[in-house]
Amino acid sequence: MSAKKHGAAVSAPDESAFVESESPKPGPVAAKNARGRRAQGGVSEPPPEGPGFFRTAWSLTKLGLGVLLVVGASVLVAWGAHRYALTSPRFAVRQIEVKGGKRKTEDQIAQVAGIKRGDNVFAVDTNQVEQKLLSDPWVKQVKVTRALPSTVSIELEEREAGALASIGDRLYLVTKSGEPFKPVEEGDPFDLPVLTGVTAEDLARDRARAVERIALGLEIVRHWERIPMSRVHPMQEVHLAPGGDVSLTVGKAGITVHVGKGPWRKKLLMAERVIGQMEKKGRVPGIVFADNVAHPERVVVRMR
């Protein structure tokens, strides 16, 4: 059937293409309108149902179980490797290497460190061993490492004593930089110059300044040791007065040399020349004064 409207022919839809009581399927325009209505809150989508939803849930479950299985297997492997490393004879300590140790034997150092041959190399706590070794005042620095499968290496840097310092009622060993590091005990070196004049109160009040004064005394010792006379009259004592003046005692005869303040080498050379001249005459001076501020070129001698 056809109808005419303003001269155009319009065909009616074929009713046989529809089933009774069934709506036609929406085309692209209708689907777009439906989505617009849902977006505006007119129509809500139903929750996901059906076989697709259950398949997704099952896939996620299987993935989670797989991850747990892999993690569990990794933990078991790690635990087994750890147990093997701690119990296998392959990793028993067979060698203890010590570098830089002078005052103790390798066995003595290993005893202080608490390491025995046969111990498991992985059971050796390197940080703890270092702390044990640093408890020895002679040890300045230490580094402990493992060399697999069976070696522990200990590298030491020991302090070197430059002199003895009389502080309070005790003698202390001091480093060449002037730092007191231990009281003198049996077995420690005694054939060193003695520094006096720095008190325990000085160290407590201003340690840095006290260490500087001790370091000055060591500098004067080194100046004297470069002079040929030091082989005949070795340094015995350096006294550091609170005001900065310095005097020293040299030789077995105990000759006292007052040098006041610097220049140290020049004054020590002047004292050496005077002592040498006196000895050529068969005489030994008691005190040599090379500290005349008004006339620094003069040296005064007081005989015994």
What is the CATH classification number for the domain harbouring 118? 3.10.20.310
pLDDT digits (tens, 9 = 90+) for 213-268: 999 999 999 999 999 999 999 999 999 999 999 999 999 999 999 999 989 999 99
In a domain, 271, yes or no: yes
The 3 state secondary structure assigned to the chain is CEEEECCEEEECCCHHHCCCCCCCCCCHHHHHHHHHHHHCCCCCCCCCCCHHHHHHHHHHHHHHHHHHHHHHHHHHHHHHHHHHHHHCHHHECCEEEEECCCCCCHHHHHHHHCCCCCCEHHHCCHHHHHHHHHCCCCEEEEEEEEECCCEEEEEEEECCEEEEEEECCEEEEEECCCCEEEECCCCCCCCCCEEECCCHHHHHHCHHHHHHHHHHHHHHHHHHHCCHHHHCCCEEEEEECCCCCEEEEECCCCEEEEEECCCHHHHHHHHHHHHHHHHHCCCCEEEEECCCCCCCCCCEEEEC
CB contact at 8 A, 238 and 198: no
Q: What percent of the chain has pLDDT over 70?
A: 73
Domain limit, last residue, from 139, 158, 177: 158
Residues 122 and 190 in one domain: no
Mean model confidence pLDDT for the chain: 82
pLDDT digits (tens, 9 = 90+) for 134-169: 999 999 999 999 988 989 999 999 999 999 999 999
- The CA distance from 219 to 58, in Å, is 84
In a domain, 148, yes or no: yes
Structural domain for 279, as ranges: 161-303
Taking Cα atoms as reference points, which of 166, 173, 227 lies closest to residue 199?
A: 166
Domain limit, last residue, from 158, 178, 213: 158
Q: Is the pLDDT of residue 3 over 50?
A: no
| pLDDT for res 101 | 87
The pLDDT of 191-198, averaged and rounded, is 97
pLDDT digits (tens, 9 = 90+) for 65-119: 666 656 655 555 454 444 545 556 777 899 999 999 888 899 999 999 999 998 9
Residues 259 and 207 in one domain: yes
Residues 146 and 167 in one domain: no
| pLDDT for res 91 | 77
| pLDDT for res 89 | 72
In a domain, 59, yes or no: no
How many domains does the chain fold into? Answer: 2
In a domain, 83, yes or no: no
pTM over the 0.85 mark? no
